[in-house]
Amino acid sequence: MYPAFARPAAYAPPSSFDLYVAGLGAVGRALLEQLRTLPADGPRPRLLGSCTTREAVWHLPATAERTRWDGILRRLETHPVRPLVFVDATGCPDVARRYPRLLAAGVHVVTPSKRANTFEQAYFDTLARVARAGGAQYRYETTVGAGLPVVQTIRDLRATGDRIRSVRGCASGTLTFLFSALGRGEGFSRAVRAAAEAGYTEPDVRDDLSGEDVARKFLILARTAGYALERSEITVESLVPPGFAALPPAAVPACDARWHDRARAARADGKVLRYVGTLAAGRVTVGVEAVPAASPLGQLDGTDNLFEISTDRYPTSPIVVRGPGAGPEVTAAGVLADVLKAVA
């Protein structure tokens, strides 16, 4: 006979919660649009307010004022309703430095911005500690892989006692798009321009071309996997020569010949170029690799990302996560999923 257990008190998730959205760029706007399509039988958000870097609007009551971050945070800290979720879609480092205030006040923080998680290791540790103490959640799934469940997979594995041995893959939809175009014989600068026009690139495309975007993503994965690491410890290969990162994007065509020759050499060997990140033995490297055209990485197209996660439980057949890794709609959907998990 099975032992008798006391029946736990029934838990009902909140039927509504308050939400504040900071940053109304492409992701922020897409998020607000997706809020309108939530199913009627699920939790319903009440939009408390939203802001750009210049203007803040409070919907309850309807008022508008100049954006002052300290004032916004004070109002959220003292807001009497919980759950309350703060979404930071600004990409502003000053806002990212203020997360501990909100978390300490029991306000859930959700962000697609890589800023906070790529400050010094001590700050990353502080966010986790303050969130626990404040009974709040800090969720950042979309900082890596847009809407793909990469961060949560690593978190779940660690929570169940597994150890992450390595993570390898393509973490930039922009660079998958770029190198797929090179593999088809297209020009480097033309592919960069097409990616920017489609909205796949970072606000400053030089973050993609320098490798900085992928370096930040793998830094986040390494820290989430339990490794202490600083950005200065990551080896990064840039797609443009030294000095180009300081030039405007219009200088990119000067790299066309170099990448044409490199892509052609890879094709002659039955391979294609991919920008690959690797976390292994607690170290991270990111750079261009020639991979077999028939391999999973070689078959990536469009804006797909692919991650191979090896652990103590999955040492030889890694867990594979693949899907679109760029675009405001899929990123906003991932942010919304984080919001709903925070209040569940």
CA end-to-end distance (rounded Å), the chain: 34
Torsion of CA 176, 178, 183, 188, to 10 degrees: -160
The answer to whether the beta carbons of residues 195 and 174 sit under 8 Å apart is yes
The pLDDT, as a whole number, for residue 245 is 67
| Alpha-carbon gap, residue 218 to 305, rounded angstroms | 13
The answer to whether the beta carbons of residues 108 and 140 sit under 8 Å apart is no
73 and 176 both lie in a single domain: no
Amino acid of residue 244: F
Strand partners, 59: 62
The pLDDT, as a whole number, for residue 8 is 47
- Ramachandran category for residue 299: left, alpha or beta (phi over 0 → left; psi -120 to 50 → alpha): alpha
Residue 114 located in a structural domain: yes
| Alpha-carbon gap, residue 164 to 217, rounded angstroms | 16
**The pairing of beta strand 84-88 with beta strand 108-110:** parallel
266 and 249 both lie in a single domain: yes
| Alpha-carbon gap, residue 225 to 159, rounded angstroms | 10
159 and 305 both lie in a single domain: yes
Amino acid of residue 73: L
| Alpha-carbon gap, residue 193 to 155, rounded angstroms | 36
Residue 8 located in a structural domain: no
DSSP string covering 216-249, please? HHHHHHHHHTT----GGG-EE--SS-TTGGGS-G
Per-residue confidence of the chain (344 residues) as pLDDT tens digits? 444 444 445 545 677 999 999 999 999 999 999 999 999 888 989 999 999 999 999 997 889 999 999 999 999 999 999 999 999 999 999 999 999 999 999 999 999 999 999 999 999 999 999 999 999 999 999 999 998 999 999 999 999 999 999 999 999 999 999 999 999 999 999 999 999 888 888 888 888 999 999 999 999 999 999 999 999 999 999 998 877 766 776 778 888 999 999 999 999 999 999 999 999 999 999 999 999 999 999 999 999 999 999 999 999 999 999 999 888 999 999 999 999 999 99
Residue 11 located in a structural domain: no
**The pairing of beta strand 235-236 with beta strand 62-66:** unpaired
Q: The CATH number of the domain where 203 resides is what?
A: 3.30.360.10
Q: Which domain holds residue 94?
A: 16-146+329-343
Helix H or strand E encompassing 104: helix 99-104
Length of the chain: 344
The pLDDT, as a whole number, for residue 11 is 47
288 and 162 both lie in a single domain: yes
Residue 9 located in a structural domain: no
Q: The CATH number of the domain where 62 resides is what?
A: 3.40.50.720
Residues annotated as part of the active site = 217
The answer to whether the beta carbons of residues 18 and 83 sit under 8 Å apart is yes
Residue 22 located in a structural domain: yes
335 and 285 both lie in a single domain: no
Residue 47 located in a structural domain: yes
The answer to whether the beta carbons of residues 103 and 138 sit under 8 Å apart is yes
247 and 290 both lie in a single domain: yes
User: How many CB atoms are located within 10 Å of the residue 204 CB?
Assistant: 13
The answer to whether the beta carbons of residues 277 and 168 sit under 8 Å apart is yes
Residue 29 located in a structural domain: yes
| Number of domains into which the chain is organized | 2
Token representation of residue 219: 């830094």
92 and 166 both lie in a single domain: no
159 and 135 both lie in a single domain: no
Residue 5 located in a structural domain: no
140 and 56 both lie in a single domain: yes
170 and 96 both lie in a single domain: no
The pLDDT, as a whole number, for residue 209 is 92
Residue 191's contacts (CB-CB under 8 Å, 6 or more residues apart) are 177, 178, 181, 182
297 and 160 both lie in a single domain: yes
The pLDDT, as a whole number, for residue 61 is 81
77 and 177 both lie in a single domain: no
Strand partners, 50: 21, 57
